[in-house]
Amino acid sequence: MEFLDPEIEQYALEHSEEESTILNELNRQTHLKILQPRMLSGHLQGRILSMLSQSIQPKTILEIGTYTGYSALCMAEGLQNDGVLYTIDINKELVPFAQKYFNKSSYKNIIKMMVGNALEIIPELNFKWDLVFIDADKENYSNYFDSVIEKVNKGGMIIADNVLWSGKVTRPTFRNDIETKALKTFNEKVNSDSRVSNVLMPVRDGMMIMIKK
C-alpha cells in the first residue's frame, strides 16, 4: 500500500533529488525482469536512505535483505571513504543481478554481498555498526533487531522497512497471518526499548527509524 496520495507523491518526487543514472537503470530493470518489483525501495525511499546515511556518515553499514541492490547503493552514498557495507540475502538467484549494478557503481570495492541466513552470518561479522537496514523476512524482524542492537554504536541508526505492512498492523490479526503479527510485535518491542529513540514514518510501506542511545 502507498500511503501518500499519488499526486502528492509525484510532487514530492519532482521536488526531490533525482536518482543517479545507475539507480534509474536498476529501478527500471528490476521492474522489467524481476518478480515482485514492489520490494524495491524506489526513488523516494532511496533518497531518504541516502540522506539518513549522509547525515551520520557511517563507516560500517549492515543491510539485511539485498533484493536487487537499490537500497545498498543508496546507503553507500553516505559511507566514509574507508567504509564498508555488508549486505546479506538468502536468495542466491538475485546475486548476479545485484552484483552487476554494484560492479558498475563507484562503490564496487566497498559493498560486500553475502548469501545465506542472516541470523547465522551476523554473529560471524566482527564489526560495530553505524547503520543497519532491515528489509528481509518479516517473521524475523525482532530476531534481527536482537542480533544487532548490542553491536550498533552509540548514535548509530537502525532502519526497518515495511513496518506498516499495507496498513494491516492497524487491523485485527488473523491466526495464520504470521507476518502481520510479527511486525506488530516488532513495532511494540522497539517502541518500548529504552536503548533506542524511534519514529515510525508513514513513507511507502512504513519505515521505523531508530537511533541507539
- 15-39 pLDDT, tens digit per residue, is 999 999 999 999 999 999 987 887 8
Gap between the Cα atoms of 187 and 202, Å rounded: 13
pLDDT at 192: 98
Gap between the Cα atoms of 159 and 10, Å rounded: 24
b/e sequence 139-169, b meaning 16+ C-beta within 10 Å = ebbbebbebbbebbbeebbbbbbbbbbeebb
- 53-100 pLDDT, tens digit per residue, is 999 999 999 999 999 999 999 999 999 999 999 999 999 999 999 999
The structure's pTM equals 0.95
Q: Which CATH class is domain 6-157?
A: alpha beta
In which residue are the cell numbers 541466513 written? 117
Quickly list H helices, 78-199.
95-104, 118-121, 141-148, 178-191
Gap between the Cα atoms of 90 and 34, Å rounded: 16
Gap between the Cα atoms of 153 and 204, Å rounded: 28
- 98-137 pLDDT, tens digit per residue, is 999 999 999 999 999 999 999 999 999 999 999 999 999 9
